[in-house]
Amino acid sequence: MKTVYVGMGTDLIHHGHINIIEKARELGQVTVGLLSDAAVTKFSRIPFLEYEERKQILENIKGVEKVVLQSSLDYEENLRALKPDYVVHGTDWKVGPQKHIRDKVIRILSEWGGELIEPDYTEGISSSGLKNAMREIGTTPDIRRRLLRRLIAAKPIVRVLEAHNGISSLIVEETQIEAEGELREFDAIWVSSLTDSTAKGKPDTEYVDRTSRIQTINDILEVTTKPIILDGDTGGLTEHFELMVRNMERLGVSAVIIEDKSGLKRNSLFGTEVNQELEDIDTFCHKISMGKKAQMTRDFMIIARIESLIANVGMEDALKRAKAYIEAGADGIMIHSRYKDGKDILEFMKEYQRFEYKVPAISVPSSYNKFTEDELKAAGFNVVIYANHLLRSAFPAMQKTATSILANKRSLEADEYCMSIKDILEILPN
């Protein structure tokens, strides 16, 4: 019997895929190479379903003999291992970013006389169309919550942007570009205490209470599907933090970051211009471990934020805290700094690489923003958070418009700073 290989990444199986599998099974015994999450995220969003779930679905489709892991977009490794007589793929990859993969498949198959078979693309259905439809329906707390851990496992570095209300979260959800052969978009949403407070005209001192912050999160949950990381400030009293963990899990938030400060919390970017008191290490460890105990799911993450470099108490203190917080059960650490050159951050990360037990490291490069994502990844970071940029860019635009109306005693001149009324009416999905 001839052997047939079909590469697939999708989780939303439709009749287009079935057409491909039917064609493949006419030719021989079918092995599906199922793309890993990491491979899929090179050209698309991370699948809704986890790898094992996608595998289970495919294994139960008529005509599929076996499902094997395809861990990159490149077919080479699996083709050389299996030496199939045929590869079957829709015609859609003849043009566009996957064309070079197709060319390579043809070249490799020719080594043993194998053949590429390309059934006509099934009109009227596509995975991206289905994904858009799914996005309009929304997601569930369970699916959304677990996405962050999956993204950290699948992507070289997870890219997160701040949102402070529904409309800014839609920008994080929807903005994407195609560059250097990949689809590039933000992976997750940061609900910042600074911008949530500032958007309400309030100081970033934990004054905006939890009910109000949950309202912001709800506005964001309603219109997005991407995972959410909450800036939990200090986490408050340990007893309150336990409740916060339960609450966030229930909503489908993926992670909370809490910082090791005590007393009146001031924004870290003030540095030593204001009094920044650090929490006692044991007290903060106790808060982390009680939060972990309160947790109901295995997906939620509690990330410990180290403020030693902000408070200027030195590298030794930062490293000591990182070790203690990891031992207490933190699922990630965030090291913060307000210096532009980022030397202290790189030094910390160099020492951190030597830790016997490491957890994902989170960077918030508001000050040291000269570093690219590739450089942060090379330093050892797993997640980068652009913590305040949508609010900071909206504010000057609004100021310009207000000033222009005052100067001209009419709004005509402000038109150049504004989107059209037609666009604002059409910006929201029906």
Q: Which is nearer to ligand SPV, 193 or 404 (CB)?
A: 193
Helices (H) and strands (E) in the chain, counts: 17, 17
Q: Least distance from C-beta 256 to Mg ion, angstroms?
A: 12
Binding at 276: pick from ligand SPV, Mg ion, none (beta carbon under 5-8 Å per type): none
CA distances from 312 to 278, 347, 381 (A): 10, 15, 22
Binding at 268: pick from Mg ion, ligand SPV, none (beta carbon under 5-8 Å per type): ligand SPV
Alpha helical stretches, state H, 73-231 = 76-82, 99-110, 127-137, 141-154, 166-174, 193-199, 210-223
Q: Which is nearer to ligand SPV, 364 or 376 (CB)?
A: 364
Question: 368: exposed, middle or buried (C-beta count within 10 Å: 0-12, 13-18, 19+)?
Answer: buried
**Residues at the interface with ligand SPV (CB under 6 A):** 192-194, 231, 267-269, 364, 366, 387-388
Q: Which is nearer to Mg ion, 231 or 307 (CB)?
A: 231
Q: Least distance from C-beta 228 to Mg ion, angstroms?
A: 15
Q: Which is nearer to ligand SPV, 189 or 364 (CB)?
A: 364
Binding at 363: pick from Mg ion, ligand SPV, none (beta carbon under 5-8 Å per type): none
Three-state SS at 365: coil
Q: Least distance from C-beta 103 to ligand SPV, angstroms?
A: 45
**Residues at the interface with Mg ion (CB under 5 A):** 193-194, 231
What is the gyration radius of the CA atoms in the chain, in angstroms?
Answer: 25
Q: Is 204 a catalytic residue?
A: yes
Q: Least distance from C-beta 189 to Mg ion, angstroms?
A: 14
Q: Which is nearer to Mg ion, 231 or 331 (CB)?
A: 231
CA dihedral 275, 276, 282, 285 (to 10 degrees): 150
DSSP state, residue 386: E
In whole angstroms, give the CA distance from residue 37 to residue 40. Answer: 5
Structure tokens at 134: 């799914």
**Dihedral sign, Cα of residue 197, residue 202, residue 207, residue 210:** negative
Residue nearest Mg ion by beta-carbon distance = 193
Is the Cβ–Cβ distance between 19 and 119 less than 8 Å? yes
Q: Least distance from C-beta 197 to ligand SPV, angstroms?
A: 8
Binding at 387: pick from Mg ion, ligand SPV, none (beta carbon under 5-8 Å per type): ligand SPV
**Dihedral sign, Cα of residue 352, residue 358, residue 360, residue 362:** negative
- For 408, how many CA atoms within 13 A lie in the half-sphere containing its CB? 12
Binding at 169: pick from ligand SPV, Mg ion, none (beta carbon under 5-8 Å per type): none
Q: Which is nearer to ligand SPV, 73 or 220 (CB)?
A: 220
Is the Cβ–Cβ distance between 365 and 325 less than 8 Å? no
Q: Least distance from C-beta 266 to ligand SPV, angstroms?
A: 10
In whole angstroms, give the CA distance from residue 68 to residue 62. Answer: 16
Binding at 127: pick from Mg ion, ligand SPV, none (beta carbon under 5-8 Å per type): none
Is the Cβ–Cβ distance between 217 and 191 less than 8 Å? yes
Catalytic residue among 11, 187, 196, 204: 204
Catalytic residues, by residue number, are: 204
